[in-house]
Structure formats: C-alpha cells, structure tokens
Chain A
C-alpha cells in the first residue's frame, strides 16, 4: 500500500532559526495536505497543494509540491515558540494516508 515518510522524525531548533520537514511518498499523489498538531491537541489543516511544482506561502510557512508529485516540503522561516508541534503531510483523495510526522521543538 501507499507509504508516506517524513524526515526528520524530530527537530529541535533555537527560536529564530529556520526549519524544514520533508515528505516522501512511495506513489504519485493526486494532492498533498499539511496538518499541524499541537501537543495534546488534534491535527489541524494548514494547506493543500494540487499542482506539480506548486509553491504556497502562509506568512512564515512555505509549502512546496514536487515536480513528480511524490514529495513535498514545509519550510518555516524564523521559528517562534508558537510553531511547536508535530507537522504531518497527507496524500490522496478520500482515503488519505498521513505521513509519519515531524515533531518540532523550539527552544526559546
């Protein structure tokens, strides 16, 4: 079945540093979604990418969908303590497969 891996599994950064998480699928994806889960919370939708090579920005967050639609990345510029949480990518329509997640810790 489809597998979606994310690296790194954990990342500790100093506040103000940049952060990137990478998402790789074993199969071509129709779309990619990104979710954020705060500690003790539930996944919250951030964004969806559909087109090959698509890049979208949300303030300090930049999302990219690979040309082959098998990988994606999320980059956060100048991290803040509010960015703490686990970031998941998810691919597919209806039967969405969630990635393994990257847990981000920001040290003030």
Chain B
C-alpha cells in the first residue's frame, strides 16, 4: 500500500464543534485530495491540492476548509460540524494528473 495515513480512523463529535482530519503521506506526491463517501452519492470531491499552499474547491466544499503547509500533510477542517457531515472521508494522493490515485483507509466521522 502507498504510504498514506489518515487520522483519526474513527471519530464521534457533537454538532457545532470544529473537527480536523489529517492525511499524511510519505510518498512526496504533489497532488492530494479529500473525498467523502455516502450511500447513493459515490465519492464526492471536497477539496484538493496541487502543491504546497495550492488548493482548490471540489464539488461539495461548503462547510469545509483545507490547508497544506508542507508536502506530506493535507488537513481537512469542519469549521462547525453538522449532522449532514456524518460520512466516511477518504484521502488520496498521486504524482501527476495522468497517474493512479492511491487512497487511504478512510475516516469514519459521526456528528451527533
């Protein structure tokens, strides 16, 4: 498996609290992505990064922010968690747009 670590793997949090998910890679890949997976919706892109401090919005970015201050870490923050953000979150990395994306094991987030 590619060197991708997501933390935490599971989290339960209360509505209105901020939450930060971390994606750490040891592959020195330029591109990093955050997706959420929900039944019936597949994987939806939240934000992605094409370099240090270079990020862009995906399809479902409202309520989420990201930061990438160094190559190996891509942080996803839910500013004020809502129940609609209960989901499984996947991080992915790849070297270039014409290469395979490698996925992390996922983070299961429950907002109560």
Whether chains A and B associate is no
